[in-house]
Amino acid sequence: MLKFLLRPILIGLATAIILLLAVPSLRPNLPNLFNKQPDVETIDAVNVSFSHAVHRAGPAVANIYSRQYVQGDHLKLKTQGLGSGVIVSDKGYIITNYHVVAKADQIVVALQDGRVSNAQLVGLDKQTDIAVLKVDMTNLPVIPQNPNYKAKIGDIVLAIGNPYNLGQTTTFGIISAIGRSSVSTDGRQAFIQTDAAINKGNSGGALVNTRGELVGINTASFQQATDLETYGISFAIPYALANKIMTKIIADGRVIRGYIGIDGQDMNAVAARLLGVEHTNGIIVLKVSPSGPAADAGLKEKDIIVSINNKKVVNSQSLMELITELRPGTHIELDILRDGKPLKLPLTVGEDPRD
């Protein structure tokens, strides 16, 4: 009996709803359920803005002008290069790119508050494309820095700089990859890859997160790295590396790197089978520089470096990081496999001749 009564009731309700939806004139006095507009608070909650991040970081991104003497007339200077720089200390230190100021006879820094100053070149590091400048100015805006931030694929980032001398500009994207070393000329650089546009003049500018904290130093587009025309692929030097290089430049005027004089390849299962060993970590030595510390220590081609001072060598990148952090003259011990047998080799670290 109940089912018999419910059926016509449900049919009637469905018919009424359809009529109300199809014929608006039938519902002039009904509550405004069908035409309700979202309130202003709802719209504001959905609206996404990164203005707070730009407000925090933007003032600390300066315009860098590289000037050179006119050929044949050392009384005249003309602007040859354009870039950006990031104020990272209230003492006046600014990080920019090596390629922005490498050939400069004079470097001019223009702040976003309108102040302009000549800059002193503290030092350069070609391998990481980092240069450190210093300006003698007070009340400098310093970019927010968070040493605990770790860049992750998918993080939203903003690139701030002075593209084409148009004035400070901010572009938006995500981190699309980390640890990119294949685009570096010597394979020693681990770039952050982003699809935020980095154009001419952005070099040396800031890559920041949505809190305005420094993520990296904008350095290159894919076009600069490979001479291919493409879009959506740009690179930045990680903040931690840039800060480390700056500290070394301030301390020594340059970057002093340890060196042992080898080229190697990461171990893998295929290489292990070919060499007849079970070990799949470490690196295979492919070349030993005849006059380098490794040759003096007796290291040979096809040796497998397993660890240095009991610190495991996972791949060529980890080996490079371990060695370059050592001061020349440091005594270390290599654990290697030669013909499948373990062997220890004492070695004295040299200084990288490429620096």
Tell me the two tokens of residue 297.
């220590």
* Sole residue written with tokens 């370059």: 324
Q: Which residues of 144-157 are buried (b: 16+ CB within 10 A; e: fewer)?
A: beeeebebeeebeb
Give me the pLDDT at residue 77, please: 78
Is 279 tagged catalytic? no
Tell me the two tokens of residue 179.
């640890």
Question: Which position among 99, 125, 221, 234 bears the catalytic label?
Answer: 99
Residues of the chain with CATH 2.40.10.120: 47-254
Is 99 tagged catalytic? yes
Give residue 156's identity as a one-letter amino acid code: I
Contact between residue 240 and residue 204 where contact means Cβ atoms under 8 Å apart: no
Per the model's pLDDT, the better-predicted residue between 265 and 153 turns out to be 153
Give me the pLDDT at residue 312, please: 87
End-to-end CA distance of the chain: 94
Give me the pLDDT at residue 11, please: 62
If you average pLDDT over residues 65-73, what whole number do you get? 82
Cα separation, 55 vs 187, whole angstroms = 35
Mean pLDDT check: name the lowest of 167-171, 277-281, 304-308, 341-345. 277-281
pLDDT at 230 over 90: no
pLDDT at 76 over 90: no
pLDDT at 287 over 50: yes
Mean pLDDT check: name the lowest of 85-89, 175-179, 241-245, 342-346. 175-179
Is 203 tagged catalytic? yes
Question: Which position among 125, 129, 303, 352 bears the catalytic label?
Answer: 129
Question: Which position among 66, 84, 176, 203 bears the catalytic label?
Answer: 203
Helix, strand, coil percentages, rounded to 5, for the chain: 25, 35, 40
If you average pLDDT over residues 31-51, what whole number do you get? 60
Cα separation, 272 vs 280, whole angstroms = 6
If you average pLDDT over residues 206-225, what whole number do you get? 83
Q: What is the mean pLDDT of the chain?
A: 82
Residues of the chain with CATH 2.30.42.10: 258-351
**CATH number, domain 258-351:** 2.30.42.10
Q: Which residues contact 255 (CB under 8 A, 6 or more apart)?
A: 123, 125, 127, 128, 245, 248, 249, 355
Cα separation, 337 vs 350, whole angstroms = 23
Per the model's pLDDT, the better-predicted residue between 353 and 144 turns out to be 144
Tell me the two tokens of residue 88.
């990272």
CATH 3.40.47.10 fits 47-254, yes or no: no
